[in-house]
Amino acid sequence: MKRNVFLVLATFMALFFFAGNALAHFGMIIPSDPMICKGENRVITLDVRFWHPMEGIPMSLEKPVKFGVMANGKKISLLDSLQPVTVKGHKAWKAEYKVRRPGVYIFYMEPKPYWEPAEDKFIIHYTKTVVTAFGLDEGWDEEVGLKAEIVPLSRPYGLYAGNVFQGIVKVDGKPVPFAEVEVEYYNQDGKFHPPNEYMVTQTLKADQNGVFTFGVPWSGWWGFAALTTSKTPMKFQGKDKEVELGAIIWVHFEKK
């Protein structure tokens, strides 16, 4: 009897823990090098996935609706360059892109809507990251024109750990006052162990102008996810369901 009670309690606690972290999904585009300098490899490998970055819990990502790069104000589709890979038993993608000239390159993704039964809603995370090459330093704050987008106010590369990062949350090109922003560290090698579940995802809110500020404590890749709800629901099994719009940007912070 006691054993059965223990199993029930353990199951309940496990469900409670994972439900508490259910919101912390992140679309991800992680380049092999965020700053390409003279003499370095011009070919960038792009790791594209849907993930719980701090915990390393995988989710499957179907082939995106859009995947591309914007440089010098021009967009180029890279959808055909995506190659399927399996990571921890789940579907993810890889792509390679050769940088041929100096510039700022904004890689972006629009995924297919993801149905999350635990939250009874769809999730669409519009994701981007910025790579700079060969000294050119203009265009890092340009808008791609995604449905939901974080427009950086801090240059999204060349940052030291301890710097703050600022961005404006926009939906349909307009700032979103008091948008909720989740922040997670990409715990790539799994060596960092958060002390409790509250330390997995940092949460803050933008101000009345849609601007948020976050001080990054250590080096590595950090994801910023601004979450809003679409005004237009989507159908699931004949019923209208809420759609979470995520504006995601990934930024690398260097060691001091």
> Mean of the pLDDT values across residues 95-100?
96
Find, among 59, 136, 58, the residue nearest to 100 by Cα. 136
In a domain, 100, yes or no: yes
> Mean of the pLDDT values across residues 199-218?
97
45: left (phi over 0), alpha (psi -120 to 50) or beta: beta
As a whole number, the mean pLDDT across the chain is 91
In a domain, 1, yes or no: no
- Its domain, for residue 210, covers 24-254
Q: Hey, CA dihedral for 126, 81, 139, 75, is it positive or negative?
A: negative
Whether the Cβ atoms of residue 129 and residue 29 lie closer than 8 Å to each other: yes
In a domain, 54, yes or no: yes
> Mean of the pLDDT values across residues 171-183?
97
Q: In which residue are the tokens 């060969």 written?
A: 134
Please tell me the distance from the alpha carbon of residue 73 to that of residue 104, in angstroms, as a whole number.
Answer: 10
In a domain, 4, yes or no: no
In a domain, 15, yes or no: no
> Mean of the pLDDT values across residues 194-221?
97
What does the pLDDT read at residue 215?
97
- pLDDT single digits (tens) 9-56: 333 333 333 334 444 789 999 999 999 999 899 999 999 999 999 999
Q: Specify the range with the lowest mean pLDDT, choosing from 1-15, 177-191, 195-209.
A: 1-15
The residues, any chain, with a CB within 8 Å of residue 56's CB and separated by 6 or more, are: 88, 187, 190
> Mean of the pLDDT values across residues 91-110?
97
- pLDDT single digits (tens) 48-59: 999 999 999 999
Domain count, the chain: 1
Q: Would you tell me how many other CB atoms lie within 10 Å of the CB of residue 44?
A: 20
In a domain, 90, yes or no: yes
What does the pLDDT read at residue 136?
85
In a domain, 75, yes or no: yes
What does the pLDDT read at residue 20?
40
- Which amino acid is located at 98 in the chain? K
Taking the whole predicted model, whether its pTM rises above 0.95 is answered as no
Please tell me the distance from the alpha carbon of residue 73 to that of residue 127, in angstroms, as a whole number.
Answer: 18
What the block records as the tokens of 249 is 């940007």
In a domain, 5, yes or no: no
Helix (H), strand (E), coil (C) string for the chain: CHHHHHHHHHHHHHHHHHHHCCCCCEEEEEECCCEECCCCCCEEEEEEEEEECCCCEEECCCCCCEEEEEECCEEEECHHHCEEEEECCEEEEEEEEECCCCEEEEEEEECCCEEECCCCEEEEEEEEEEEEECCCCCCCCCCCCCCEEEEECCCCCCEECCCEEEEEEEECCEECCCCEEEEEECCCCCCCCCCCHHHCCEEEECCCCCEEEEECCCCEEEEEEEEEECCCCEEECCEEEEEEEEEEEEEEEECC
Whether the Cβ atoms of residue 149 and residue 195 lie closer than 8 Å to each other: no
